[in-house]
A and B are shown apart, each in its own frame.
Chain A
């Protein structure tokens, strides 16, 4: 029944809900309309394809390098752009360098076959651990909707690898060397899945160190170019390794995440005043920045590269600075910033906060983390988290009892003066009125809203009354006026008097009624 009504409501045909492969199970939009089973199959295929593409790309790059190297005299850029446009460039890309002698060509052939041999073995190596781990992985994927997530990530991985190869192309020979190193490193990491997080971190850090040392000698101490390359390397490696090294099962990161999350949730009652934050959220611009800061710190979890995560933190911090600057009208200092950041973290409750911090600490390029601007804000975030973990009454200028009461939800600091009429006051005695102010913050809010509503109601009633009064008044006024007019009319009835006759007027109609004019009489005289 309910299904039918629902169908009518949103016009979804039953067949549209089923898996697109027609296996009879229901599909899911997140899995492109497939059911979980078909999606997994599809996804595996896509992944295989992606890996193959990756290899093809890598191979291509290597070949280009070979070509460029073999004909180092020839126009390199030309050969590169040509071979780039054709996926199977060997036969076609060499003819343009016809002047290259036959010997290097055959050498090249030889190298290529060698390479192929090696590649086969590396490919095998690459897959062997995953087949060994297969059952475990399967169960993981069954538990969570990870196929959709990993599909996204595999696309991202693909993009990042392409970017990386593009970037390395500009570096010519060392680029190839770097790529080789990175690939070898990722392969070696695949075999180290069982290691603890600290060992993994050490491996990655060693790799960074070694590579940057070598780059340093290559670029002859130009730290800027080294940094640029290292950024790309970090991006490439960490995007690839993210899944296996972020919040690994060997650590208790996840437990800590949950603990922090609960802790922040329990601290929901902390107000901006308690933390002495100099941000006035009444100002629209400030609250705007606060919202942006919260968004940024939450977004951190969605990034995969440590540096991108750091960028989110920096972005968040900048918004906080803006908010403080608008409120205080002067540049903010650390004394203002840290409390504000704590407030933002409490409000945002960012997902997997501890895991993210651990991940950044373990796998970020250390030079960035320790000294730079990003490092500064990251350190502040660590401080904020440490503060939240250790937070007690004293750090909020509250007594221990008060703190306990707020923590247990018996009282809320939001409406400390509110009391009295609240009906939940169980025993109704005056002594309890202070604590019943709001048994719990939600009730307090409710109470507040109800009060607002009732006052609104009263005002509306009053308004309606007044309107009625006005109407009545209007009516009575009209009546009054009418009556008055009537009165006056009655008192002074309209008389139409004949106009007074004029003696002068001889042509009057009634002139005939007049006595005849006096006629002259002659008296004896």
Chain B
């Protein structure tokens, strides 16, 4: 079985050619060590273990098709996702509008899903300030408004990429206990509760 145990599902959302795939590629290929099969698979699904404290959390990163054609289907994609990285292109204001759309969708349909706002192609903006179409502070304000983390990344230089995914993993780790406890209170027996107690104790 090539399938690897995955702890959580992270979806990449964003307009076409905004750089979702490159972001994942950058992140995964940056550290080459992990698992031989991941590199051969194409970049659409990646299972990536991350060290958080003393624990290893495996993120299942789901790339999605960003074209407007498939907008109606995006709900199927992010169903059950614990984190969503909503990407927009710093040099393309229309991509930010699309990002707003996804944020709204997520807020409506997946309340457990944590949102990460990610401006891509930071290297272009660094090289030529006039290319920037999305003001950092506007995006920051928007992120605060929706309670999201905000990052500006460059897949070319690797700037902020690791930080973004590390944060995703850490947040998942922090929330895991809480969520599981919630679930346990709803429909699970005593046994499961105690198990999670011990697992978080190690942490």
Contact A390 B77 (CB under 8 A): no
The docked-state distance in angstroms from the alpha carbon of A112 to that of B63 is 57
* A387 part of interface (Cβ distance < 8 Å): yes
Contact residues in B for A334 (Cβ distance below 8 Å): 12, 20-21, 44, 62-66
Binds B, one of A50-58, A97-105, A131-139, A213-221: A213-221
Contact A221 B4 (CB under 8 A): no
* A337 part of interface (Cβ distance < 8 Å): yes
* B53 part of interface (Cβ distance < 8 Å): no
Choose from B44, B65, B192 the contact partner of A216 (Cβ within 8 Å). Answer: B192
Choose from B3, B25, B195 the contact partner of A217 (Cβ within 8 Å). Answer: B195
Contact residues in A for B16 (Cβ distance below 8 Å): 335
Contact A382 B76 (CB under 8 A): yes
Contact A339 B9 (CB under 8 A): no
Contact A321 B44 (CB under 8 A): yes
* B6 part of interface (Cβ distance < 8 Å): yes
B170 to chain A, nearest CB (A): 18
The docked-state distance in angstroms from the alpha carbon of A368 to that of B3 is 9
Known contacts A213-B192, A387-B70; decide if A372 and B44 are in contact (CB<8 Å): no
The docked-state distance in angstroms from the alpha carbon of A373 to that of B66 is 19
Contact with B along A177-216 (1 / 0, CB 8 A): 0000000000000000000000000000000010001101
Contact residues in A for B4 (Cβ distance below 8 Å): 372-373
A337 to chain B, nearest CB (A): 5
Contact residues in A for B20 (Cβ distance below 8 Å): 333-334
Q: Which of B67-88 contact A (CB under 8 A)?
A: 67, 69-70, 72-73, 76-77, 79-80
Contact A379 B25 (CB under 8 A): no
Contact residues in B for A390 (Cβ distance below 8 Å): 72
Contact B76 A321 (CB under 8 A): no
* Interface range on chain B (Cβ under 8 Å from partner): 35 or more
Choose from A214, A332, A371, A374 the contact partner of B44 (Cβ within 8 Å). Answer: A332
Among residues of A, the one whose C-beta sits closest to the C-beta of B16 is A335
The docked-state distance in angstroms from the alpha carbon of A194 to that of B43 is 45
Q: Which of B2, B3, B42, B73 has the most CB of A within 10 A?
A: B42
* B5 part of interface (Cβ distance < 8 Å): yes
Q: Which of A223, A339, A379 has the most CB of B within 10 A?
A: A379
Among residues of A, the one whose C-beta sits closest to the C-beta of B195 is A216
A324 to chain B, nearest CB (A): 8
Q: Which of A373-393 contact B (CB under 8 A)?
A: 373-377, 379, 382-383, 386-387, 390
Choose from B67, B69, B80, B199 the contact partner of A370 (Cβ within 8 Å). Answer: B80
Contact A372 B76 (CB under 8 A): no
* A419 part of interface (Cβ distance < 8 Å): no
Choose from A224, A333, A371, A387 the contact partner of B43 (Cβ within 8 Å). Answer: A333
* A66 part of interface (Cβ distance < 8 Å): no
The docked-state distance in angstroms from the alpha carbon of A374 to that of B4 is 10
* A338 part of interface (Cβ distance < 8 Å): yes
* A59 part of interface (Cβ distance < 8 Å): no
* B110 part of interface (Cβ distance < 8 Å): no
The docked-state distance in angstroms from the alpha carbon of A436 to that of B21 is 44
Contact residues in A for B42 (Cβ distance below 8 Å): 321, 324-325, 331-333, 337
Q: Which of B27-44 contact A (CB under 8 A)?
A: 41-44
Contact with A along B43-65 (1 / 0, CB 8 A): 11101000000000000101111
Contact B7 A371 (CB under 8 A): yes
Contact residues in B for A254 (Cβ distance below 8 Å): none
A376 to chain B, nearest CB (A): 4
The docked-state distance in angstroms from the alpha carbon of A487 to that of B27 is 93
The docked-state distance in angstroms from the alpha carbon of A216 to that of B70 is 39
* A455 part of interface (Cβ distance < 8 Å): no
The docked-state distance in angstroms from the alpha carbon of A395 to that of B186 is 42
B101 to chain A, nearest CB (A): 17
Known contacts A217-B195, A373-B4; decide if A337 and B60 are in contact (CB<8 Å): no
* A301 part of interface (Cβ distance < 8 Å): no
Contact residues in A for B47 (Cβ distance below 8 Å): 372-373
* A227 part of interface (Cβ distance < 8 Å): yes
Known contacts A333-B43, A335-B16, A335-B67; decide if A379 and B21 are in contact (CB<8 Å): no
Q: Which of A329-347 contact B (CB under 8 A)?
A: 331-335, 337-339
A310 to chain B, nearest CB (A): 9
Contact B192 A379 (CB under 8 A): no
B104 to chain A, nearest CB (A): 20
Contact residues in B for A370 (Cβ distance below 8 Å): 9, 80
Contact A379 B191 (CB under 8 A): no
The docked-state distance in angstroms from the alpha carbon of A259 to that of B197 is 49
Among residues of A, the one whose C-beta sits closest to the C-beta of B187 is A209
Other contacts beyond A217-B194, A377-B45: 8, CB < 8 A: A321-B42, A370-B9, A371-B6, A372-B47, A376-B62, A382-B76, A386-B72, A387-B72
Question: 29 A-B contacts, Cβ less than 8 Å apart?
Answer: A213-B188, A213-B191, A214-B191, A223-B5, A227-B5, A325-B42, A331-B43, A332-B42, A332-B43, A332-B44, A333-B21, A334-B21, A334-B44, A334-B64, A335-B16, A335-B66, A335-B67, A338-B70, A370-B9, A372-B3, A373-B3, A373-B45, A373-B60, A379-B62, A379-B76, A379-B77, A383-B73, A386-B76, A387-B72
Closest 9 CB pairs of A and B: A333-B21, A334-B63, A338-B65, A321-B42, A376-B45, A383-B73, A371-B6, A334-B44, A371-B9
